[in-house]
Structure 1
Amino acid sequence: MKPVLVFGHGFIGAAFADLCRARGYSLAATARSADKRAALTAQGIRAVDPAGTDLSDLARAADMILVTPAPDDKGCPAFAAVGSALIDAPRKWIGYLSTTGVYGDRGGGWAFEDQAPTPLSTEGRRRVLAESQWQSLTPHHDVAVFRLPGLYGVGRSVIERLRDGTARRIHKPGQVFSRLYDTDCADALMRSAERRRAGAVYNLCDDEPAPADDVMVWAAQTFGFDTPPEILFDAPDLSPGMRRFYAENKRVSNALAKAELGWRPQFPTYREGLQVVWAALRAETV
């Protein structure tokens, strides 16, 4: 069985690991907490503590490496741990999960992979640095960078926020966001691993950029929740973090991933995705 190493078995790491397991790969994944490592072990995944284990041998032996952790001011912690060990390792696929935040604000215009990053946020600038670190291995490995929007799925959607009363409906005229269902993301990652191209950069998102408040109103009306009151973007009590979040307005193109990977999102808009989330949540209560 070919080995796969997942740095960070979180939302997307777990979805990708499920696809790898279905294809017969052996899995290793990092987890910082003892409880999380025990849970991974129970699933048949080799669990390693990134703070207490030299990961170089695992990384060198892997046929595929997926990197999900957020970077800091020095870049990607996974690259710091294994980057130098990979220079002379056997060629492999390395997928790095970045963010569409590297594009900064496009004034509602389209963002494409061949455009120069112009990040506004600290996180966006960190992601640009981390991308460049992994791309420095392109002469040695099939490195692919994936720029992701807001991710959602069962356990992580507007429906849960409506249900528990934490949803806030913020309106900013002309503002749109892209989004992506978690299993659609994992599908694109696997397609890249099976159609490797060194230096690839892909935007992954669904087909319909949409205002977040429109999504919330649709979900509330469709699934029988009270629609939260509208909060204007210039409300004085809006948090600085939320203001930063709404400072970037862009539509993200997924055309390249479709053309090169033969990928199509199973959930092309939030409507299809949220219907599946709702059905899963309803099944849990039966």
Structure 2
Amino acid sequence: MRLLIYGYGFAGKALARRMAAKGWAVSATYRDPEAAAAMRADGIDPVPAGDKAAIAERLGRTQAVLVATPPGPEGCPALQVLVPALARAGAFPDWIGYLSTTGVYGDRRGGWVFEESSLAARSPEGARRVAAERDWLEVGRGMGLTVTVHRLPGIYGPGRSAFDRLRDGRAIRYALPGHVFSRIHVEDLAAGLEASIARPRAGGIYNLCDDEPAPNSAVIAYAAQLLGVEAPPERLVDFGAMPPQARRFYDETKRVSNAKAKAELGWRPAFPTYREGLAAILKAGG
């Protein structure tokens, strides 16, 4: 069995490790030649991201494809490469998974959102995700491919957690009553994708997140407690002084349901809240 990952980042690497441990061969795209060397060292077959012929050759013997690149102003870059390559190879993978974001739901003032909730993205990035989801689902219907969409909140894990922000002095706790967001440990994300690969459903859309939406301030305070350091004091929010990315984050609040992924995929997060996730990261030396 072979997996092709278009966009070998934090999520893609976690899925690659998981599937390789199950005996899968893994190919992944790259743009930087130095990244290709690192992939080879990890046992990954590197493929130039723009080489449609090389990608078509891999697709001809691939059962699962993960699309993990963000869309730009011109749409999803992976779609522009993979669709012609699929046609060229006459390939029909069992599963194509597109990684989207829960940002497609926009602001719900702390309310719950489900896969069937209306899409109300407020940022240009969120609107591009809505369009990319639509484009991939249309490709799936038009070409008879099993395309699934996975909507993700903030992803954390070793090397990307509140511990890192505390250690380098970047952790900020904003006093913003009622503001919560969902998150997912990268290993739970990989497990959710593996479950989707095992139960492919054309047009399936799944929220992959933990069980407890929580304030970012609480997450940082708990991480500080685990490290045995003093948590940064809460500060009032000054939206005008925030960088654009942070302002977009704090301008939206919602609770994301993972009930559908649990029911249809049989998936359960190993780290149902940030507490278990952070404790595991610290125990592993992260």
Q: Do Structure 1 and Structure 2 share a fold, with TM-score over 0.5?
A: yes
The structural deviation recorded for 1:89 is 2.5
| Identity percentage of aligned residues | 49
The secondary structure found in structure 2 opposite 1:265 is: coil
d(CA) in 2 for partners of 1:241 and 1:26? 36
Matches within 5 A, 1:120-269: 120-139=122-141, 140-234=144-238, 236-269=240-273
SS of residue in 1 equivalent to 2:140:
coil
Q: Do 1:110 and 1:253's aligned partners in 2 also have CA atoms closer than 8 Å? A: yes
| 1:239 Cα offset (Å) | 2.7
The match for 2:56 is: 56
Greater Cα shift, 46-55 or 188-197: 46-55
Runs (4+) off by over 6 Å: none
Change (3 A) 1:197 1:53: closer
CA distance in 2, matches of 1:45, 1:240: 35
Residue type of the alignment partner of 1:270? Y
SS in 2 for 1:136: helix
The count of residues paired between Structure 1 and Structure 2 equals 281
Residue 197 of structure 1 and its aligned partner are, at CA, apart by 0.5
Where does residue 96 of structure 2 map in the other structure?
94
Per-residue deviation, residues 220-251 of structure 1 (Å, max 9, x unmatched): 12321221122211365333332221111100
Distance in 2 separating the partners of 1:59 and 1:75: 22
For normalisation by structure 1, the TM-score amounts to 0.94
| Aligned-partner residue type, residue 83 of structure 1 | V
What CA distance in whole angstroms lies between the structure 1 residues aligned with 2:46 and 2:235?
44
1:74 offset after TM fit, Å?
Answer: 2.0
SS in 2 for 1:215: helix
Distance 1:52 1:146 in 2: 26
- Taking structure 1 as reference, are residues 121 and 47 closer, same or farther at Cα in structure 2, changes over 3 Å only? same
Q: Which runs of 5+ in 1 are unaligned?
A: none
Taking the aligned partners of 2:136 and 2:249, their CA distance within structure 1 comes to 26
Q: Determine if contact 2:5/2:29 at 8 Å carries over to the other structure.
A: yes
Paired residues of 1:112 and 1:203 also in contact (CA < 8 A): yes
Q: What's the offset of the Cα at 1:44?
A: 2.1
1-structure distance, mates of 2:239, 2:83: 45
Q: Which residue of 2 aligns with 1:5?
A: 4
Distance of 1:49 and 1:122 partners within structure 2: 28
Q: Please, which moves more after superposition, 44-53 or 174-183?
A: 44-53
RMSD, aligned CA: 1.5
Aligned partners of 1:163 and 1:225 also within 8 Å: no
1:28-43 aligned at under 5 Å gives the runs: 28-43=27-42
Structure 1 partner of 2:68: 68
CA distance in 2, matches of 1:173, 1:273: 24
